[in-house]
Amino acid sequence: MADQPNVTLFTDGACSGNPGPGGWAYLLRDNATGREKKDAGGDPHTTNNKMELSAVIEGLKSLKQRCTVKVVTDSQYVSKGMTEWVAGWIAKGWKRGNKPVKNVELWKELVALSKQHDVTFEHVFGHAGHPENEECDRMAVMAAQEARGM
């Protein structure tokens, strides 16, 4: 919508071992002003998918008002999850077949946060020279190293 801020949320997660020490990172850009906000965090024992989800969740949590948000991620797990899979999971009581969806609490949080904004998802290839994705990757790897205690 024209009357609400328009932002791009670049995200990435990293994990050293899976499971292992992991990190998430985001770069949030106001598309009108070019102003940016960055943040990262880590967990000493996690999975890559949890960190990919956490990056988007933390970025959306940082928004102070309703926004039009384009999430740019190299995670097909996140992008396909939100654009193709989540509606079916919800309809089936958060199940895939007869098994519970993995990381269900994170997915539920991401769905709830996404409803507070007008969110779209764009998949980019990781480690392919996309500047903001590369920056998020560096930040997530650093957060994973810090979580490991390096």
Residue 94 is part of a domain; what is its CATH number? 3.30.420.10
Q: Which residues are catalytic?
A: 12-13, 52, 74, 127, 137
Structure tokens at 57: 């969740």
pLDDT at 149 over 90: no
CA distance 29 to 17: 30
How does pLDDT run across 48-96, given as a tens digit for each residue? 999 999 999 999 999 999 999 999 999 999 999 999 999 999 999 999 9
Is 12 a domain residue?
A: yes
Q: How many domains does the chain have?
A: 1
Domain span at 53: 6-148
How does pLDDT run across 5-40, given as a tens digit for each residue? 999 999 999 999 889 999 999 999 999 999 999 999
pLDDT at 145 over 90: yes
Is 1 a domain residue?
A: no
Q: Positive or negative CA dihedral for 66, 135, 40, 57?
A: positive
Is 20 a domain residue?
A: yes
**Closest-CA residue to 120 (of 59, 74, 71):** 71
CA distance 50 to 78: 10
